[in-house]
Amino acid sequence: MTYSKTIAQIKEINGNRDFTPLHEPCFSGNEKNYLADTIDTTFVSSVGAYVDRFEAEMARYTETAKAVAVVNGTAALQVGMRLAGVSKGTEVLTQALTFVATANAIAYNSARPVFIDVDLDTMGMSPLALSAFLDEFGELREEGCFNKSTGRRIAACVPMHTFGYMCRIDEIVAICDRWKIQVVEDAAEALGSKYKGQSAGSFGQTGAFSFNGNKIITSGGGGTIVSKDAQFAEKAKYLTTTAKVPHRWEYVHDELGYNFRMPNVNAALACAQMERIEEIKSAKKVLLASYQEVFTGESARLKPIPAGTDWNHWLISVELENLEERNRFLQETNDAAVMTRPIWRLISSLPMYEQCQKDSLANSIWLEERIVNIPSSVKV
């Protein structure tokens, strides 16, 4: 079959442009004013009013105790895992169907990922698969949970909310509590999403967000660590500001820290974007409704919103019939200057992670062969 009619409809929905991007940022508010203000005040680096304002706004929006602005979502994950006790020789349970940054952040802590399957509807970590893995390989000791197969301590679990869909995070947290495993929530793509009325990023010990240029809102480059425990967040702030002991003029650092601070100029952009996030979400719902009239057939259908999820509508996905149809759809759309992208190649198949332990990943493989993101930009 050919997708020429579908491509024409996608182009029409997106304004019949010469090139239809996958997801471009929307700058129609106070972005220029706030950026100019940082230049006028000369506070463009890692200290400034916009950093403080953005952190306060993120804590309010995610209903957490404190937020810490950092350079990107990967750094947010790395520090969140360190706070959870992830260190050299430990293991972290995560999913193979995710962006590579999730696994890289584990490796940056000199730990090893273990890959757990996802649910077909949420495309995020499956509580059933997690429970089955721990029942088979988990062993509770006084020092925590250990992997009977490898002998390593399982320090943390990092589920990820794929394309803003929420995984069954409450069930995952409950399972991890029983096994004495800390949860670090990869909410990089889920700002504005809720599950059973609770904000993404607020379920685990810490949550990590990304504000890369392709996210629902952007600071150009940036991320945030959030936590309902103010002490954890304070520790995150300390570690990401080079672990410097507060003093009016002395430079004393009492442990290994990171220069992961978000510059004020990026925070200014983020503040302007946060002012319009609900407008952006509403516009994205309208976009989804337009696509519902296009993808009505069996060969290419919109991915339904999982039960219990108030979705942020970040990237809209279609499910193709099989791998051959997926590849045909990708070829024809991109040949027509309509940017579409497949879901990620499974992390467990990448050369640096192919020796890591994994379960069957049956659902992950099924989704890898079928899911494609379609243009999801909006103008407000």
- Residue 292 tokens read as 């519902």
Pairing mode, strands 371-374 and 316-320: antiparallel
Phi, psi of 249 (to 5 degrees): -140, -20
∠ Cα 187 190 191 (to 5°): 100
How many CA atoms, within 13 angstroms, populate the side-chain half-sphere of residue 93?
34
CB 303 within 8 A of CB 361: no
The four Cα atoms 32, 33, 39, 44 give a dihedral, to 10 degrees, of -80
- Please tell me what DSSP assigns to residue 211: -
∠ Cα 224 226 228 (to 5°): 175
Give 81-147 as a DSSP string: HHHTT--TT-EEEEESSS-HHHHHHHHHTT-EEEEE-B-TTT-SB-HHHHHHHHHHHEEEETTEEEE
Active site residue 285: no
Greatest distance between any 2 Cα atoms in the chain: 70
Location of structure tokens 């260190």: 87
- Please tell me what DSSP assigns to residue 163: G
52: CB partners within 8 A, 6+ apart: none
Pairing mode, strands 206-210 and 182-186: parallel
> Taken in order 263, 266, 271, 272, is the CA torsion positive or negative?
positive
> Could you say which of 11, 66, 194, 215 is catalytic?
215
CB 95 within 8 A of CB 116: yes
CB 210 within 8 A of CB 72: yes
CB 168 within 8 A of CB 198: no
C-alpha span between 205 and 166 (Å, rounded) = 17
Phi, psi of 247 (to 5 degrees): -160, 150
Active-site residue set: 215
